[in-house]
A and B are shown apart, each in its own frame.
Chain A
Amino acid sequence: MKILVCITHVPDTTSKISFTDNDTQFDKTGVQYIIGPYDDYAIARAMELKEGMGAEVTVLNVGLAETEPTIRKALALGADDAIRVNAEPEDALFVAQQIAAVAKENAYDMILMGRESIDFNGGQVHAMVGEMLNLPSVSPVMKLDIEGNTAKMTKEIEGGKEYVAVDMPFVAGCQEPIAEWRIPNMRGIMTARSKPLNVIEPVGDGAGTTVQKFALPPAKGAVKIVDSVDELVDLLKNEAKVL
């Protein structure tokens, strides 16, 4: 079985976010990068499948050379090799085109990724990849089991769960608790260096969108502590005007 896991290289969740160039560029100085937390679960599930039934796991990232430490962490987690598409991941369409191009060249049985990245939270790439490859695409997947040539998945939907079965190959956007989260072990870290990390050039015409401007969410206002329920009801009615 061949599994492709697509990972993002995103700012640590505790990073302080700021912008430069008239709020058109994200300021990368001093920011720590991690594997996208949802992608982490995709890798973990791929490793569980590898350990359970045998698989060859390739990780893919669309990014410039600065993302290699993040890619190597995925190798330390147990992936066999890696591909870096040498380009800034400018928008979902562009990234999906790169993944689809790689997948066309290689017969993967499944393409896993996080349900969304945690920088732009687009959540579109898995659907686009499925469309481009004419494959079923399921997201967000909380449980994934393989039986013969069929993938059985549990998907989160508004107010409940949906159980779906698809034939391989397929695309899935993953989230917890699809697998037990993993920490790279010493052996994985020490062997990561010697695993192949292939760099390829991007295809297509580049991004279809341009960022006009970023804006931070408005700062949180002051907190008011009230002494009684009556006062609270009064404030909600007359000050916040929500009741």
Chain B
Amino acid sequence: MENKKAIKGGEFLIRETTPEEIFIPEEWNEEQKMIAQTCHDFIDTEVFPRLDEIDSQKDPELMPRLLDKAGELGLLGTSVPEALGGFGMNFNTTMLVSEVTGKGHSFAVALSAHTGIGTLPILYYGNEEQKKKYVTKLATGEWKAAYCLTEPDAGSDANSGKTKATLTEDGKHYLINGQKMWITNGGFADVFIVFAKIDDDKNLTAFIVEKAFGGITMNEEEKKMGIKGSSTRQIFFNDCKVPVENMLSERGNGFKIAVNILNVGRIKLGAAAIGGAKAAATAAVKYANERKQFGKSISEFGAIKHKLAEMAVKIYASEGAHYRAGQNIDDAYDAFVADGMDPAQARLKSLEEFAIECAILKVHGSEVLDYVVDEAVQVGGGMGFSADGPFDRAYRDARINRIFEGTNEINRMLTIDMLLKRAMKGHLDILGPAQAVAKELVAIPSFGDDGDDTFFAKEKKVLQNLKKAGLMVAGGAVQKLMEKLGDEQEILMNLADMLAEGYVAESVILRVEKLVKMRGEEACKMEIDLARVFLHHAVDVAVKAGREAIYAFAEGDEQRLMLMGLKRFTKIEPMNLKAARRRIADYMAEKNAYPF
């Protein structure tokens, strides 16, 4: 326990984690499994039969009605403490709810916007009266919430918004004027979290705005590529009169709120994407088993097996990484609360501590989902492309996840930016290990293996080396480019990819190592294959991204030295990946589902 609490955000790069220190999804308890089953049952019986109706948006009351039903089951109050009418579940359990409901297409988006970016700003930053007045109603679904940050000219650059708030002469109200865009749940929300600038402030301030305050108008529903059933509106505030007591936190604190709330949402978005990916993979396996060509089920063809297995490899690895980080967040929260911190504050602090992991997983989860739905369409062939087939909606709906909650580009840059800032501030000692790697580069390499034949010893050596490769390239880039690194976004993307795949690879190796300790090697053959195949993928990414980065910032002898180092740090024993994928795919075909 002591050790667990000491884990810091971003530290995975320089610290060897043991399997005992991580939580794995195979450890869900009976209660958590029941919660997950309720989510499955709800989506299967209430949402799936109405997907077309939801997407048509013909009945504007349908989505709020479904949210009401989710509210009756308690699904809107999982993160809310019991004192405010919720259930005060720990972070990992709430993420499990996000994952399972994540297969719910447009409904999933409405649900997560309401419970996440809609409710959490008040829960985490509101005063007692604000929480009592709003959070209690949001936790049951009596009121629905939306989050208004983005503007036509302020998207990724969110702090550049032009919406204004001015104090009325009697000092009792703010008048909000401006325009917001792409507002999820906008069409039916009762409460809006609105970010605006007071007078000529440099920074945003957040307000809790009730629709009933007046002065709010909106455009028609946006026409979108996917999640067509999710309400997305442009909203205009014209002298919208907000009582001063509805300011959230302090003047000028809005950008911080916006950033921190998005951070919470990110890892959950990743988890929801994994839930969607599992559903799409299952649909793909079922189709592949049913569809016959050349006298065989297409699931018997190697090319299709490759696709099915790759889906499983990526989903399984990413899933484990999410709950590993989620447990770290829960442990940090417990430690903060034990130290006497206010629980709402502790939630925020624990998430902030693991903001690097959250950004990594938003990107990873959403890209695994896109990979899976794309290959699912391919497995479907013509039926994959048919708007009446099982994959069309999944393919279109997946795409938004790489765009909202901070685009994947912004999140990749954030990953590296946060890591370097922590190093600079002395929170995270990556300088020492980076220098050690640089020294190792010029030393004589130790050949041969060190005789360690414990389970996964070789794989762990590969992981260690992957970290070294990351440190070498990152260290080299920082040293060479210094403050100019920020302008070399391509290199930042390379570094972010090395970091992310390394983190997920370590997570899956640790997950399976722990599982083997729980169940024995014989019972975990499939999972061992999954982990090994993913590790090879992570090494391939490191080779490619590392090489591109080195080509870009180093020259001559330095370049040669680093390329040699990269080669040394990305060494991995050959394995028959094809055979492993076939074993995985055959098992999926036998189970007729994503089975892990």
Q: Chain A interface (Cβ within 8 Å of chain B)? A: 16, 69, 72-73, 76, 181, 183-187, 189-190, 192-193
Contact = CB atoms under 8 A, between A and B. Distances in A.
A183 B45 contact: yes
Contacts of A185: 38, 72-74
B30 A69 contact: yes
Nearest to B74: A186
Given A185-B72, A185-B73, A186-B77, A76 B34 contact: yes
Interface in B33-84: 33-35, 37-38, 41-42, 45, 72-75, 77-78
Given A69-B30, A183-B73, A189 B35 contact: yes
Nearest to A76: B34
Given A183-B41, A183-B73, 5 more contacts: A183-B38, A185-B72, A185-B73, A186-B74, A192-B31
Interface residues of B, number: 18
Nearest to B35: A189
A192 B35 CA distance: 12
B45 A190 contact: no
B75 A186 contact: yes
Nearest to A183: B41
Given A184-B38, A185-B74, A190 B30 contact: no
Interface in B14-45: 30-31, 33-35, 37-38, 41-42, 45
B371 interface: no
Nearest to A69: B30
A186 B31 contact: no
Contact of B87 (A72, A181, A186, A193): A186
Given A186-B73, A186-B75, A186-B77, A193 B31 contact: yes
Nearest to A29: B523
Nearest to B593: A14
A165 B33 CA distance: 41
Contacts of B73: 183, 185-186
Contacts of B38: 183-186, 189
Interface of B: 30-31, 33-35, 37-38, 41-42, 45, 72-75, 77-78, 87, 591
Contacts of B35: 186, 189
A76 B37 CA distance: 12
Most buried by A among B42, B73, B78: B73
20 contacts: A16-B591, A69-B33, A73-B37, A181-B45, A183-B41, A183-B42, A184-B34, A184-B38, A185-B38, A185-B72, A185-B73, A186-B73, A186-B87, A189-B31, A189-B34, A189-B35, A189-B38, A190-B87, A192-B31, A193-B31
Contacts of A181: 45
B30 A72 contact: yes
Contacts of B30: 69, 72
B97 to A, nearest CB: 9
A59 to B, nearest CB: 15
B72 A73 contact: no
B76 to A, nearest CB: 9
A72 B35 CA distance: 12
Contacts of B74: 185-187
A48 to B, nearest CB: 15
A69 B35 CA distance: 12
A69 B38 CA distance: 14
A181 B42 CA distance: 11
A185 B42 CA distance: 10
Contacts of A73: 34, 37
Contacts of B31: 189-190, 192-193
Nearest to B69: A183
A190 B77 CA distance: 13
Nearest to A73: B34
B130 to A, nearest CB: 24
A119 to B, nearest CB: 20
A63 B38 CA distance: 24
A187 B45 contact: no
A185 B34 CA distance: 9
Contacts of B33: 69
Contacts of A16: 591
A191 B178 CA distance: 47
Contacts of B87: 186-187, 190
B571 to A, nearest CB: 37
Contacts of A69: 30, 33-34
Contacts of A76: 34
A186 B45 CA distance: 17
A158 B539 CA distance: 66
A72 B87 CA distance: 18
State the 5 A-B residue pairs at the shortest beta-carbon distance, nearest first: A186-B74, A185-B73, A183-B41, A185-B74, A189-B34
A72 B45 contact: no
Nearest to B42: A183
Contacts of A184: 34, 37-38
A186 B78 CA distance: 8
A138 to B, nearest CB: 28
B42 A72 contact: no
A72 B29 CA distance: 13
A1 B74 CA distance: 28
A216 B554 CA distance: 67
Contacts of A72: 30, 34
Contacts of A183: 38, 41-42, 45, 73
A184 B37 CA distance: 9
A73 B36 CA distance: 12
A3 to B, nearest CB: 22
A220 to B, nearest CB: 13
B592 to A, nearest CB: 8
Nearest to A190: B87
A165 B184 CA distance: 54
A166 B41 CA distance: 35
Nearest to A182: B41
A70 to B, nearest CB: 10
Q: Which of B31, B34, B37, B72 has the most CB of A within 10 A?
A: B34
Nearest to B33: A69
A183 B72 CA distance: 10
Contacts of B72: 185
Contacts of B591: 16
A192 B30 CA distance: 11
Contacts of B78: 186
Nearest to A34: B37
